[in-house]
Chains A and B, each alone.
Chain A
Amino acid sequence: MAIRLERQETVPPLGLIAAPLLALLFTLVVGAVMFVLLGHDPLRAFTIYFIEPLTDPWTLQELVVKACPLLLIGIGLSFCYRANRWNIGAEGQYVVGALFGSWLALATHGTDAGPWVLPAMLVLACIGGALWGLIPAFLRVRFGCSEILTSLMLVYVAQLGLDYLVRGPWKDPAGFNFPQSVTFDAVAVVPLLMEEGRMHAGILIALVAVAAATFVLGRTLIGYSIELGGSAPRAAAFAGFDERRVTYGVFAVSGALAGLAGIIEVAGPIGQMQPSISPGYGFTAIIAAMLGRLHPVGVLVASFVLALTYIGGEAAQISMRMPFDVTRVFQGTLLISILAADVLVRYRIRRVEGASHA
């Protein structure tokens, strides 16, 4: 006997809305049991986790700061995943984008360069990220290499390259040999949107990306060819869509957006080059893309939900002295229930008697 997942012909719209809510309810029950067992007040924990971050203008801005890179990268990944191209290496494209952009910031440091520096940095970062993303695309098209492996392995190459530069040529000469660059000049920094807080102009770029991606994926022939190539490659080939061009295209877009996220983070909240510029945004964004059902607006919502669980988790550590691992278990429970509920609503579980494995 085997169990098989079958796609439902029609999914009731109510189910699509109810699924995440049920998942949330399930998480709250599991979380409540866990918190009670550990001696924490579950109601207080939930308030700190989900409500308090939304009531304070400062944490609201922090949500935006945390969600911004996830959103940009997640949109790019949606292009890839819709086309059935599994780019796991957004983290590396993020780093290379940041490197390309930072090069200009450091090259113009201390000179009287004009306000063109930041836009040029953003463009360079897109180019850098796209080039890094095109490597696994090329290897797949040319040699049939699994892009999952090559894109992932290129993450480590990029990180070590960053490490080399920050500890070597890009080191701040006045920094006692510590691995950091100089802090960027004002013209090379992403401007803040408000006087108080850290919300920066990067979110505007991300929102433009959401709108553009929604249009391209939903309303254009390019979007259609991506979608069709992913779900029915043979049909796409008969329809005259070039599979190779789609592969290059989605990797270039995905890489460029990841690179953009990288430079916005470095020229924004960080303000200088240092050995660690990402707490794994490139990987977390995979979750954002999946949670958002590969739709740019969905990714937007998912990025904020993810950001909320991070910030809520930190708040729970601070005000309830909850251990880090417990906050992460809770976050993991939430994510896995949402994804599971999503699958269960769109698919039917069917027992197959004596079925042979295909």
Chain B
Amino acid sequence: MRKILSLAAALAAGLVLAGGVGTQAQAQEKLKVGFVYIGPVGDFGWTYQHDQGRKAIEKEFGDKVETTYVENVPEGPDAERVIEQLARAGNKLIFTTSFGYMEPTLKVAKRHPKVMFEHATGYKRDKNVSTYNSKFHEGRYILGQIAAKTSKTGTIGYIASFPIPEVISGINSLMLGAQSVNPDAKVKIVWVNSWFDPAKEADAAKALIDQGADVISQHTDSPAAMQAAEARGVKAFGQASDMIAFGPKAQLTSIVDNWSPYYIKRVKDVLDGTWTSTDTWAGMGDGEVVMAPYTNMPDDVKAMAEATEAKIKSGELNPFKGPIYNQDGKLVVKEGEVLPNGDILSMNWYVKGIDDKVPGK
């Protein structure tokens, strides 16, 4: 009798709630996935690649998912509103793809415990907030080797965005790669204090070329530097996406962010009901960091790059394998050891040979 009563109560509650639940049930038939972008989808860099990942989800799951995105969302209170709006619009999985969305994502996640959040490049997690990032520095080691082999002046130009660990570790990895080929390689760094500012990026590229750099590397999102290099007849590396269209004669290769495998996996986890909060830092071996075709270089350089790529993929080579000295000549990583992931993710020092100072240090 008691059982029947409680059953009836549950039924009644269900009926009362049905109005509200109805829309939710519909949403569950189709998993709604939302994306928040820092730049325009047409930046041909960071945001473009995330949007490629979104399209890959649609292609993979077809009718089972519905995706949406909001572009050009400033980091700050606007981000919190947009994320909240996505959660309220019935999105059950939300990717927030810029570091500055970290606190807003966590705040919204607290209010929507049933929505799952994925924050790119952050370090704070929660029960329903995962973080993910890629080991871009693995690709930069190869860039360093190619640059050192290709450069006639021995000077590599580096357009850097913000002095956060991801960027610092990228510079170090490139330098270590370059030193493995030419111990006297030099790297010149220009900070543009922006992820996406085509005019500044182009100016930085020109300034670096004027200072004798004949290979340009960038940690910013637009193809402006590639275009500048093409115009001045020097070589360059693309960033985030394959930028060969912007530098058919200039591009040596490009580090392509391939978010598709991760995005597809996470959507599948949600559909299967196996999603949990995780911290993912995948690299070349996982197919998340992909090298664009090696172009505009001699065959022996190409062969070297391919060999290094294979070694990094198999795990045989780790860019941060000792011995590594810092700028003061102090041994930081001993022979035969590798720098722990945590130390790479909080890196704020340069390796020996970089003739510059970490900003703000």
**Residues of A near any B CB (own CB < 8 A):** 58-59, 62, 65-66, 163-164, 167-168, 171, 176-180, 183, 198, 265, 268-272, 274-279, 310-311, 314-315, 317-319, 321, 323-325
Contact = CB atoms under 8 A, between A and B. Distances in A.
The 5 A-B pairs at the shortest CB distance, nearest first, are namely A269-B77, A279-B74, A176-B346, A177-B348, A167-B360
B68 A318 contact: yes
Contacts of B89: 318-319
B70 A317 contact: yes
14 contacts: A62-B84, A168-B360, A176-B165, A177-B348, A179-B162, A265-B77, A274-B76, A279-B76, A317-B69, A317-B70, A318-B82, A321-B68, A321-B69, A324-B71
Contacts of A319: 68, 89
B359 A167 contact: yes
Contacts of A178: 99, 123, 164-165
A324 B37 CA distance: 11
Given A58-B84, A177-B163, A177-B346, 17 more contacts: A62-B84, A66-B78, A167-B359, A176-B164, A176-B345, A177-B164, A177-B347, A178-B164, A272-B103, A274-B100, A276-B100, A277-B76, A279-B74, A314-B85, A317-B71, A318-B34, A324-B40
Given A176-B165, A178-B99, A318-B86, A270 B348 contact: no
A279 B78 contact: yes
Interface residues of B, number: 36
Contact of B77 (A168, A270, A275, A315): A270
A317 B91 CA distance: 14
B248 to A, nearest CB: 28
Contacts of B193: 163
A64 B103 CA distance: 21
Instruction: Name which of A171, A183, A270 has the most chain B CB atoms within 10 A of its CB.
Output: A270
A339 to B, nearest CB: 24
A315 B74 CA distance: 16
A268 B40 CA distance: 28
B72 interface: yes
A58 B88 contact: yes
B110 interface: no
A276 B162 contact: no
A198 B82 CA distance: 13
Nearest to B74: A279
A176 B165 CA distance: 7
Contacts of A167: 162-163, 359-360
A70 to B, nearest CB: 12
Instruction: Name which of B69, B78, B103 has the most chain A CB atoms within 10 A of its CB.
Output: B78
Contact of A269 (B80, B88, B100): B80
Interface in B252-266: none
B266 to A, nearest CB: 20
Contacts of B162: 167, 179, 275
Nearest to B32: A318
Contacts of B230: none
Contacts of B164: 176-179
A59 B69 CA distance: 19
A318 B77 contact: no
Given A168-B360, A276-B74, A62 B81 contact: yes
B103 A271 contact: yes
Contacts of A315: 85
A296 B80 CA distance: 29
Given A318-B68, A318-B70, A274 B360 contact: no
B71 A318 contact: no
B75 interface: yes
Contacts of A270: 76-77
Contact of B85 (A180, A271, A318, A323): A318
Contacts of B360: 164, 167-168, 171
A311 B193 CA distance: 28
Contacts of B359: 167
A90 B138 CA distance: 44
Interface in B145-176: 162-165, 168
Contacts of B34: 318
A178 B82 CA distance: 23
Instruction: Name which of B75, B162, B360 has the most chain A CB atoms within 10 A of its CB.
Output: B360
A269 B72 CA distance: 19
Contacts of A317: 68-71
A45 to B, nearest CB: 15
A276 B81 contact: no
Nearest to A310: B78
Contacts of A183: 103
Interface string B174-208: 00000000000000000001000000000000000
Interface string B260-298: 000000000000000000000000000000000000000
Contacts of A318: 34, 68, 70, 82, 85-86, 89
A51 B86 CA distance: 18
A209 to B, nearest CB: 20
A163 B163 CA distance: 12
B41 to A, nearest CB: 8
A324 B165 contact: no
A175 B233 CA distance: 41
A276 B345 contact: no
Contacts of B163: 167, 177
A14 B359 CA distance: 60
Nearest to B78: A279
Contacts of A325: 40
A324 B81 contact: no
